[in-house]
Structure 1
Amino acid sequence: MELARGASKGDGGAEALLGELEGLVQDVVRASSWWELHGVDCAILALSLLALPAGFLCLSSENVLVFAIGITILGVCHSTLTVKGSHLATHGALTKSKRWSKIWLLFFVEVCTAFTSEFGKFSHVNMHHGYTNVVGLGDSSTWKLPCLNGYVYMFLAPFLIPIITPLVALERLWKVELRIALRTLGLISLGLYSQYWLLLNVSGFRSPGSALACMLLIRALLAHPFLHVNIFQHIGLPMFSRDKKPQRIHMMTLGVLNLPRLPVLDWAFGHSLISCHVEHHLFPKLSDNMCLKVKPVVSRFLQEKQLPYQEDSYLARFRLFLNRYEDFMVQAPLITEVVGLQ
């Protein structure tokens, strides 16, 4: 199987290709303003925070349409803060300040997402990015649930994500220092209780059960595309073994796929998780806006060098996973032959 026809052979050739691409991208970064580097994405996150009061107030209305608008506002804002915010904070892409990067990491991952920042950063940055599509390390296998059939997984399992997330976080707390566990437990409790309190005292929910049900609905509003995106962009693409993985530029171009731009998901998840996922894996410290800005440079370079630049539609990937769910999500993945790329 000819995976990268025309690509330079040898470790030196791959490193030279990546170095050349990095030079082109750095030229774009140096010519960009603070607003382009960080401001656009910070503004989106700030607007999401500012929209929260309107969402909670809409839920106090007896008008069904206004109530639905409130659910939509809060659901989209929740996804923006938890997915886009946590992702950017995990990579330190919101600011150059190490102190503020730590603060944003704790806020977005622990307060907003109800997850542990230490494990979240390690599993995503160190493992997934460090060993993209390497079987057993960074191959997105954490998203596999072989006990479920395809239709249950694709349509029903996403509703469980808001419940499973804090439960997994609690399990991970047993593996960290006591002071970190107490801090994480406190911040997760703060985030969950704040939302619950606001639903009771601002939105006017009369019972704990109805408030908790609304919390679940809000947190699960975009859970389906969140789960789908996490599997569509890696699983089903070439997989590698730890001792026979290709060089970085080949690993990222072979094992990563871009979806087309989707306005709601662009806003809530960020470009780096949707239409610029290849760019993000090659340059993970760039913000969403900068991934979008360097996308033409990266795509043109890879195509000129006859390297893969993989793209597919959301609907096409959805159909593919339904048809080949057993192959992709249940059976052990096949190791891709990469001879000729080393």
Structure 2
Amino acid sequence: MQGVPEEWTEEDGGTGERSRGTGTGKGEETMMMELTRLVQKTVKESSWWERRGIDCSILAAAFISLPPAFLLLGSSHFLWFSAGVLLMGVAHGIITIKGTHLASHGALSESQAWAKFWAVFFIEICGSFSALAGVKGHIKMHHAHTNVIGLGDSSVWKVPFLSRSIYLFIAPLAVPVITPLVALGRKYFPVERDNRTVAMVTLGLYSQYWLLINVSGFTSPLSALLCMLVCRAMFSVPYIHVNIFQHIGLPMFSPTRRPKRIYQMTHGVLNLPRNPLLDWMFGHSLINCHVEHHLFPFLSDNMCLKVKPVVSKYLTEKQLPYQEDGYLSRLQLFFNRYQELMVFAPPITELVGVQ
């Protein structure tokens, strides 16, 4: 597995190369192997630009846009200042959502050393969270146990005591504050790694604050902190929506009795339609290629998009689900069925005939 630090992987690291559950069925193994060969053929025929270059260029463009954003934030004209806030918010969204997601999967480099470096850079310095905790929670739990109750069922996004309107539209704005507090409060790893996380998170937060004071010319610490909050929370609402829309409300499985991986992913994962803004900011693997991403989680966003026709055609031919739904349709579903989906424990699904 190129690009994935050894210490962050378990038996299959969520790649699906080994079947999970009650055993390896020959039919399921054959289908996964066939699909893997088709996808690998497409990847091998692709250039570096397609495999990594496009996504790296998008991230580079986000970083390049930061200097003009800081300069615009120093303007006394409302329109220029607003443009600075918007530019800073978009850049931060790309870096901390698309960048951290790709880095957590080792999709930015084939070198394990560079993959680890980018994970620390994007997740800790830019994203204000622990790289090891993020990788453990995302790859070793969510990907390895997708939609398994109590393990990879997106329960981290559930806050049952909040009303549906508060949860869906107000609470996500607190994510930029909650994230570093959770990261700094974790004590699950060796002291030296906890100390590194504290140092990296502090470096990232203080760097933005220092630039707002010294480059943008903010005279009040409170105004600089408020600007940081606005920019960092700008896309928190769709970020939380995307995280719950694509899994919760779909079939959920028991930890002791789950379907084989290809059935688990095709039944428990959903693609949203293409959206120019969210595709660019969050990445295809989080929006319109989420099924492909869960089947082949170490592909870059652009490669997920390229193999999408291959995966959708194969699953359709094999009469497996290829689930897609619209953003507004999912929002309406969650708003109307909030108690059932987000407050009460979802029912366990038994896929009769595919066990």
| Range into which the TM-score falls when normalised by the shorter chain | over 0.9
SS of 2:256's partner is helix
Aligned to 1:139: 153
User: 1:176 Cα shift?
Assistant: 1.6
Q: Which amino acid aligns with 2:33?
A: G
The answer for the alignment partner of 1:123 in structure 2 is 137
2:99: which partner in 1? Answer: 85
Letter in 1 for 2:231: I
Structure 1 position 227, deviation (Å): 0.5
Structure 1 residue aligned with 2:265, among 234, 252, 264?
Answer: 252
- Partners of 1:67 and 1:259 in 2: CA distance: 33
Q: Find the partner of 2:324 among 292, 311, 318.
A: 311
Within 5 A, what are the aligned runs for 1:80-229? Answer: 80-172=94-186, 174-229=187-242
Structure 1 length as normaliser, TM-score?
A: 0.96
Cα offset for 1:166? 0.4
2:76 alignment partner in structure 1: 62
Shift in Å, 1:243: 1.3
2:325 is the alignment partner of 1:283: no
2:350 aligned to which of 331, 337, 341: 337
Q: Does 1:264 align with 2:277?
A: yes
Q: Match for 1:74 among 82, 88, 101?
A: 88
Paired residue type of 1:242: P
Give how far 1:309 is off: 0.3
Matched residue, 1:7: none
Shift of 1:175: 2.1
Give the AA of the match of 1:131: H
Q: Tell me what 1:16 maps to.
A: 30
Normalising by structure 2, we get a TM-score of 0.93
Shift in Å, 1:177: 1.1
Runs of 4+ in 1 over 6 A off after TM superposition: none
1:72 is paired with a residue whose SS is: helix
User: Aligned pair 1:322/2:338, yes or no?
Assistant: no
Measure the CA separation in 1 of the matches of 2:80 and 2:150: 47
Q: 1:104 Cα deviation (Å)?
A: 0.2
- 1:6 maps to which residue? none
CA distance in 1, matches of 2:57, 2:181: 31
Three-state SS of the structure 2 residue aligned to 1:230 is helix
Query: For the residues of structure 2 that align with 1:244 and 1:340, how far apart are their CA atoms?
Result: 13
- Distance in 2 (CA, whole Å) between partners of 1:171 and 1:106 is 17
2: CA distance, partners of 1:297 / 1:206 = 55
**What one-letter code is carried by the residue in structure 2 that aligns with 1:213?**
L
**SS across alignment from 2:226:** helix
* Paired residue secondary structure (1:243): coil
Task: State the one-letter code of the partner of 2:322.
Answer: Y
1:295 to 308, 311, 324: 308
Quote the Cα distance in structure 1 between the aligned partners of 2:41 and 2:194.
42
How far apart in 2 are the matches of 1:241 and 1:15?
Answer: 21
d(CA) in 2 for partners of 1:56, 1:341: 55
Amino acid paired to 1:139: D
Q: How many residues get paired? A: 332
Residue segments in structure 1 that go unaligned for 5+ positions in a row: 1-9
Distance in 2 between residues matched to 1:276 and 1:25, nearest whole Å: 14
CA positional deviation for 1:84: 0.6
Q: Which amino acid aligns with 1:175?
A: Y
Aligned-partner Cα distance in 2 for 1:241–1:121: 23
- Deviation digits for residues 281-305 of structure 1 (CA, Å, limit 9, x no counterpart): 0000000000000000000111111
Query: What CA distance in whole angstroms lies between the structure 2 residues aligned with 1:122 and 1:261?
Result: 29
Q: Secondary structure at the match of 1:237?
A: coil
CA distance in 2, matches of 1:285, 1:175: 25
Q: Are the equivalent residues in 1 in contact too, given 2:242–2:287 (CA < 8 A)?
A: yes
CA distance in 2, matches of 1:122, 1:175: 11
Contact 2:184 2:197 (8 Å CA) reproduced = no
Identity across aligned pairs (percent)? 59
